[in-house]
């Protein structure tokens, strides 16, 4: 069932009644209103999470309308400039500053300002998307935004893979698929492997496993020498991340006390592995997300982050100055857990075929058996072309499993088998 449409408050009394439990800090509301204006005018930002955008689109449109209706020359000029170019960081900064000053005025003096305050508080309360405009003056396109070359990224590995099968503290499993023309995904995986080779944790104490699943191993020659274990999982159908991860854990990660399921587009900092290993030394710790909100970078910021972290050998991608969209408390992208917990719940649900749903199902089941913590590590999501998440009939792929029931994957499943193709979803 789709969420109810948002209807803005009609009276000052309704606004006052709604405001008690909602964010009220002027700078936060100003940032939320600026974010709504960008989301309304920027399809790239909305495409970060289409479902999350759809669920809050009415509220964002209401906030953008309330903003542009304000009778304030400074706000109007900045808003018009940003609407014409949503990537303009200077215009976003100017608009946020002007709105902050306006929202600091006492309530009740201006009906338009009170309406904006209520609309911005609404989006800040229900939306999972928040635009980070980035530092003013950053290039949005052109030569300065070109991505580093894949070969250069792999040639610049700080340490070579050990390729050993000895026990390690942790294994990082990366599921991967890229058609021949998907250069963005290939570049992203090269950057991720570069960052994983530059870690403060002893290199021989962690293993990096790449699992490519496709009709044939397109990228074996490129990536096999850049990781400790390359596994090919043959499956020409829709990409099955769950089965691909399970194959990686069974055939590449063991024996390892800890397992990290890491998407091939998450750029990590230098202390990523060491910090995780240290966290698991705390009694009772069984699993965690290393991030709270994930910053999905735009193309120019992705190129800048890769260059900074991988070629300039910076300790982190420098995300505070980059442009992108925060996806609040997402379930996937990167999750750490003990291998024992992974096995105890039967791994990931292999019935998910196609993008969407598998991460949410997995962490729900993991949290049922072991506590899941969240932290605020400096990770960023690198831009790439979005994969289809719905069939030709418009139904999300995960609906095939949802009908059978989320969290219904048996704990005693014989998961990660390479001697069979990935399971088909119910009714396929």
The region of weakest confidence among 7-16, 91-100, 264-273, 308-317 is 7-16
Task: Please give the model's pTM, rounded to 2 decimal places.
Answer: 0.88
Q: Left if phi > 0, otherwise alpha if psi is -120 to 50, otherwise beta: which for 134?
A: left
pLDDT band at 419 (very low <50, low <70, confident <90, very high): confident
**Cα(155)–Cα(137) distance, rounded to whole angstroms?**
31
User: What is the per-residue pLDDT for 427?
Assistant: 40
Question: How confident is residue 13, by pLDDT bands cut at 50, 70 and 90?
Answer: low
Q: What is the pLDDT of residues 58-74, one digit of tens each?
A: 999 999 999 999 999 99
Secondary structure (H, E, C), 147-192? CCCHHHHHHCCCCCCCCCCCCEEEEEEEEECCCCCCHHHHHHHHHH
Average pLDDT value for residue range 22-49: 94
Please, which pLDDT band fits residue 49 given cuts at 50, 70 and 90?
A: confident
- Lowest-confidence segment of 198-212, 311-325, 334-348, 382-396 by average pLDDT: 382-396
Overall average pLDDT of the 209-213 stretch: 97
Average pLDDT (85-97) is 95
Closest of 302, 261, 280 to residue 174, by C-alpha: 261
Is the per-residue pLDDT at 206 higher than 80?
Answer: yes
What is the chain's mean pLDDT, rounded? 88
Q: Give yes or no for residue 10 having a pLDDT over 70.
A: no
Percent of the chain with pLDDT over 70: 85
As a whole number of angstroms, the distance between CA 224 and CA 100 comes to 51
- Of 162-171, 296-305, 346-355, give the lowest mean pLDDT range: 346-355
Task: Tell me how far apart the alpha carbons of residues 216 and 218 are, in angstroms, rounded to a whole number.
Answer: 6
Residue 3: the pLDDT is 46
pLDDT at 17 over 80: no
Tell me, what's the pLDDT at 147? 75
Residue 40: predicted pLDDT: 97
Cα dist. 396→224, 301, 357 in Å?
33, 29, 9
Of residues 423 and 120, the one with the higher pLDDT is 120
Give the closest residue to 27 by CA, choosing from 89, 82, 99: 99
Q: Is the pLDDT of residue 403 over 90?
A: no
Closest to 222 in 3D by CA, of 178, 259, 263, 268: 178
Judge whether 216 and 323 are in contact, CB under 8 Å.
no
CATH 3.40.50.620, applies to 150-402: no
Note the pLDDT of residue 198. 98
In the predicted model, what is the mean pLDDT of residues 221-244?
95
Comparing 221-235, 249-263, 275-289, 355-369, which segment has the lowest mean pLDDT? 355-369
Per-residue pLDDT, 291 = 95
Asked which of 14-23, 202-211, 218-227, 390-399 is least confident by mean pLDDT, the reply is 390-399
Domain range summary for the chain, segments of one domain joined by + = 12-132, 150-402
Residues found in the chain: 428
Percent of the chain with pLDDT over 90: 74
Q: What number is the average pLDDT over the span 155-184? A: 90
| Residue 274: pLDDT over 70 | yes
8-17, 105-114, 233-242: the lowest-pLDDT one: 8-17
pLDDT value at 423 more than 80: no
pLDDT at position 408 is 86
Please determine, for residue 102, whether its predicted confidence score (pLDDT) is greater than 80: yes
Q: Is the pLDDT of residue 20 over 90?
A: no
Does 98 score more than 70 pLDDT? Answer: yes
Q: Alpha-carbon Rg of the chain, whole angstroms?
A: 23
pLDDT at 285: 96
Could you tell me which residue, 419 or 305, shows the higher pLDDT?
305
pLDDT at residue 201 above 80? yes
């Amino acid at each position: 069932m789709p969420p109810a449409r948002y209807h803005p408050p009609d009276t000052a009394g309704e606004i006052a009644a709604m405001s008690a439990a909602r964010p009220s800090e002027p700078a936060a509301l100003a940032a939320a209103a600026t974010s709504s204006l960008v989301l309304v005018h920027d399809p790239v930002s909305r495409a970060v999470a289409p479902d999350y955008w759809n669920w809050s689109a009415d509220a964002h449109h209401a906030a953008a309308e309330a903003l542009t209706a304000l009778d304030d020359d400074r706000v109007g000029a900045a808003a018009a400039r940003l609407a014409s170019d949503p990537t303009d960081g200077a215009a976003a900064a100017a608009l946020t500053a002007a709105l902050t000053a306006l929202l600091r005025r006492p309530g009740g003096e201006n009906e338009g300002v009170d309406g904006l305050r209520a609309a911005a508080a609404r989006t800040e309360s229900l939306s999972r998307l928040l635009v980070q405009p980035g530092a003013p003056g950053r290039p949005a396109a052109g030569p300065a935004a070109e991505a580093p070359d894949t070969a250069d990224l792999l040639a610049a590995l700080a340490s070579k893979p050990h390729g050993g099968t000895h026990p390690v503290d942790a294994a990082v499993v990366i599921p991967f698929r890229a058609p021949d023309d998907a250069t963005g995904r290939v570049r992203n995986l090269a950057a991720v492997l570069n960052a994983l080779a530059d870690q403060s944790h002893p290199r021989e104490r962690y293993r990096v496993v790449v699992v490519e699943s496709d009709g044939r191993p397109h990228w074996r020659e490129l990536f096999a020498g850049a990781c400790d274990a390359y596994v090919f999982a043959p499956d020409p159908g829709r990409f099955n991340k769950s089965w691909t991860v399970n194959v990686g854990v069974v055939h590449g990660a063991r024996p390892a006390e800890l397992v990290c399921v890491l998407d091939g587009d998450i750029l990590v900092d230098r202390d990523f592995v060491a910090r995780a290993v240290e966290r698991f030394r705390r009694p009772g710790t069984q699993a965690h997300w290393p991030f709270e909100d994930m910053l999905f970078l735009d193309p120019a910021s992705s190129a800048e982050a890769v260059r900074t972290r991988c070629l300039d050998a910076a300790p982190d991608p420098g995300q505070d100055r980059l442009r992108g969209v925060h996806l609040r408390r997402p379930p996937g992208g990167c999750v750490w857990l003990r291998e024992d917990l992974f096995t105890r719940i039967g791994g990931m649900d292999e019935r998910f075929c196609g993008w969407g749903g598998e991460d949410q199902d997995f962490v729900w089941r993991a949290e049922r058996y072991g506590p899941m913590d969240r932290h605020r590590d400096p990770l960023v999501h690198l831009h790439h072309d979005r994969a289809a998440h719905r069939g030709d009939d418009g139904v999300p792929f995960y609906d095939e499993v949802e009908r059978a029931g989320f969290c219904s994957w048996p704990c005693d499943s014989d998961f990660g088998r390479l001697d069979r193709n990935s399971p088909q979803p119910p009714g396929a």
